[in-house]
Amino acid sequence: MNEQRGSWYLLTGLILGIVVGLVVAWGLLPLNADAVTPQSLRADYKDAYRAMIALAYDATQDLTRARSRLALLQDEDPPSVLAAQSQRYLAAGYSFDEAASLARLAVALGEAPAPAPRTPTAGPTTAPAAGVTVTSTLEASALPPTEATASPAAEDAITPATPEGTPTVSSTPTLTFTPIPTFTPLPTRTPTPTLAPPYVLLSQNLVCDPAFGVSLIQVQVTNAAGEGVPGVEIIVQWEGGEDHFFTGLQPEIDPGYADFEMTPEVAYTLHIADGGEAVPLFVPECDDPTAGRFFGGWYLTFTHP
């Protein structure tokens, strides 16, 4: 009986020690309490963080610093994440400046894969074949070089430090302000490209691809060297309506690419916001031996002469 009692009190002591140890390790003195990084932020705070990085990049044009800041978030593909956030911001009605900043940074990251200055490449980027059916080759051929991760050595603005206090783990954060949506537009930036308008319509191709499923106006805007130009505002009008969209929001396709979904039996007019000729458009009807009749789209290429 005495031996039994001995075993029980030892076990009790062991369990008591384990419980105290876990309380200390997880609650009182967590190991990495001084290492809360941006990567651990809640998703909406990460969005606000990215937006601030993009605005700061617009302000300084310091791509190395922007890259190192983005690396802290450990996104798998920062250009794509930035572009997607830009589109979400536009769709949600956030300030255009923030969305445009995000898009510009996405493009800048996609265009500058190496720390060394980039040498511009000449030649057209996404001109479709001069036939009737295009677009299926667009995504594969127009991918800009993407480069996502930044060198840790580039983190010139981030230095290790002793924390001021012990951060707390918060699965249900208590802050009540909304960090994202209402930053004041920056007056010094414009969404226009560096090249002077007007752009001219270089080509207009019918797109008949049943795989698309929707009727798109695909627009490619290039400069005189054939490089895609981001940030170009395009206006599409129809009876009783108008919409504006911008190149550069899908850098995974091309910095100068944008598209707009048409509705059948509506007549559209499209033109570059900064000037140039208006292009009348409608939803074309295509006929395919296997897919039958379906609605197609248009692929327009504008360039600066």
Partner 1 sequence: MSRWVRFLIAILVGLGLGLYYGWVVSPVEFVDTVPSTLREDFQTDIVLMVAEIYQADGDLAAAMHRLAFLGERPPLEVTQAAVAFATQAGYSARDLDTLNNLLQALPVDVEATTP
* Residue number, 12 or 149, with CB nearest to partner 1: 12
* SS3 call for 11: helix
* SS3 call for 224: coil
Asked if 74 interacts with partner 1 (CB under 8 A), we say no
CB of 100 to partner 1, least distance (A): 14
Q: Which helix (H) or strand (E) holds 21?
A: helix 2-22
CA distance 296 to 305: 29
The alpha carbon of 104 is separated from its chain's Cα centroid by a whole number of angstroms, namely 9
| Residues in region 117-156 near partner 1 by CB under 8 A | 156
Helix H, strand E, coil C: the string for 243-279 is EEEECCCCCCCCCCEEEEECCCCCCEEEEECCCCCCE
Taking residues 261 to 280 in sequence order and writing x for each that binds partner 1 by CB under 8 A, - otherwise, the string is --------------------
Asked if 197 interacts with partner 1 (CB under 8 A), we say no
201 beta partners: 302
Helix H, strand E, coil C: the string for 87-117 is HHHHHHCCCHHHHHHHHHHHHHHHHCCCCCC
CB of 55 to partner 1, least distance (A): 5
Question: In this structure, are residues 275 and 198 in contact, taking their beta carbons and an 8 Å threshold?
Answer: yes
**Given 3, 76, 164, 265, the residue binding partner 1 (CB under 8 A):** 164
CB of 24 to partner 1, least distance (A): 6
* Residue number, 59 or 214, with CB nearest to partner 1: 59
CB of 182 to partner 1, least distance (A): 6
CB of 94 to partner 1, least distance (A): 13
Residue type (1 letter), 189: R
**Given 124, 179, 210, 284, the residue binding partner 1 (CB under 8 A):** 179
CA distances from 218 to 121, 193, 204 (A): 23, 19, 10
**Given 121, 141, 170, 203, the residue binding partner 1 (CB under 8 A):** 170
Asked if 19 interacts with partner 1 (CB under 8 A), we say yes
Contacts to partner 1 by CB under 8 A: 6, 9-26, 30-38, 40-42, 45, 48-49, 52-53, 55-56, 58-60, 69, 72, 156-164, 167-171, 173-179, 182-184, 186-188
